[in-house]
Each structure stands twice: as structure tokens, then as C-alpha cells.
Structure 1
Amino acid sequence: MLEIKVKSFEELTKKELYNLLQLRSEVFVVEQDCVYQDIDYKDQKALHVLGFKKEKIVAYTRIFKPGDYFELASIGRVVVQKKERAYKYGYAIMDASAEAIKVHFKTSTIKISAQVYLKKFYNNLGFKETGKEYLEDDIPHIAMVRN
């Protein structure tokens, strides 16, 4: 079972910040073999949705209010530790993120920039593709929106 916490940048403990950055690096840089600037000064504006299992962060997203990243509210840096993916924590962290957007930002319309290979996963969560595929950090992405 995943324990979910939503925190502002200022509310994160040093340990939580270190652990979430480690998880993002483990998946986005090492596993996906993609050299890119993960620490982008957007974390300070985001709310952080942390998925804990036995006090360890195994799933994570960051969410933005409308206008802070895209025109619409958005979810980004969606990540689940590789050995924990069999438990479908991606769905749990995305559902918690959508709920946090509803509670904190008073909207349910969400835009994401999705890696193309995860399109079906996001379709299952109610997201629909908008526009054409594009490269982001040399990885095929597509914009998707859920109302």
C-alpha cells in the first residue's frame, strides 16, 4: 500500500528532497540513459506528490497550478521505482496527483507532456492526445489533456 503525501518545496525535509531527486535521477537519467538537466528550478513552484512504501519514496510526481508550467494545471516527473512498478503504483500516484490538483488548484483539467511509449497508460487514466509527437531530451513525447 502506498502512503501519499503532498508537500510544497518548503515543506519537504532534506531527506525527502534528496530521496525524490535520487529516484528521478535513477529512472530518468540512468535507466532511460538520458542526459538532461533534471534540477530545473521548477521544483520551487511545484507541489510534490510523494508515494511512500515503508517510509521510502517509491513513486513521485510534481504538480503545477495553471500558468506555472502550461496554461492548464499539469503533472510532471511521473516516476515509479523500477522494482515497484508491478504493484501499479503509477496509477495510484497519478490518481493522487489529479486529486491534489482538484483540492489545491480547484480544477480538474490537466495537461501533461507524456513519453509516447506510456500513451496507453495515460489513456487508461482519461488523458487524450493533442497534437503531434515531438522530441523532448531526445525522447518522443506527446501532449495529452484530461478534462
Structure 2
Amino acid sequence: MTICVPTVSVCGMAAMGDAMPKEALDWVVGLPDAIIASGKIARFMNDIAAFNRVKSKGGAASSVECYMAEHGVTREVAIAKIGSLIEDGWKSLNQARFGDRALLPAVQRVINLALSFPLYYGGGNDAFTVSTRLRETIEILFVNPIPM
């Protein structure tokens, strides 16, 4: 799991002050399944997107490389398995919506954070390394006017 998701979630809830009930902050600090699932989604999407780049630079082993080594499978099989783990994470996030109704605003914030991951890692690309896709998205959203 990536450490960024719990940190951003806690900071985001704390920054909302009185707009977010104390129970919601306590929920986030307790690292519930929704936070863990969101962190796993981020980690696995990042690992798939960065697999080729990290492999060529000799960086730390990703979950894709570990799965390949542990199970003796090809890159495609490993990525498919990691993809199914990402799907399981989305299922856990959706399930969190049906828990305590008082926590729904906090749960929705965690889900919204997870919904941003495909922007950065979608299509198997790391938007921080291959930034042209991210740049185009930002230009569409914030620079280019919407025709009326």
C-alpha cells in the first residue's frame, strides 16, 4: 500500500475543520478498509504504470516483478493478476459506501481521491514520467475555454 493515501486522507479531513465531524476524523485515523483499499489501488496502478521504466533503470522491485518471480509467470499474466487486485480494491471502496451513513461524507472523500488515480496512472502510463497526457488533461480542464 502506498503511504500517500492515508496521509492525504487524514490531512484532508483535518483541514476541513468543523465541516467534518470528529467521528469521521477518528474513522480515517483508524485506517479502515476503504483507506487500505485506496492505498492498494494507488500502489498497484503505479506499479503497472512504472514497470518498464523502473525495470530499465534497475530500481526497487515492483509488485509486478515480485508476482512474476514468485509465480514464474509472464509480464502479461502478472499485470492481469495485479489488475484483478485493483478491481477488488474498487469493490471494497464501493462496499464502504454502505456502512455507517454518518461517515458517508468522509468515505466519499476517500473514494474521490481514488478516482483521481486513473488520471495519473491510466492506460498503463505513469503521468509523472510521461507527462504529455497529464498536460493535455490539465489544458482541457483549466486552460482551453469551453465553447458555448
Question: What's the TM-score once normalised by structure 2's chain length?
Answer: 0.31
The structure that is strand-richer by fraction is 1
Structure whose CA Rg is larger: 2
With a CA cutoff of 8 Å and minimum separation of 6, indicate the structure with the bigger relative contact order: 2
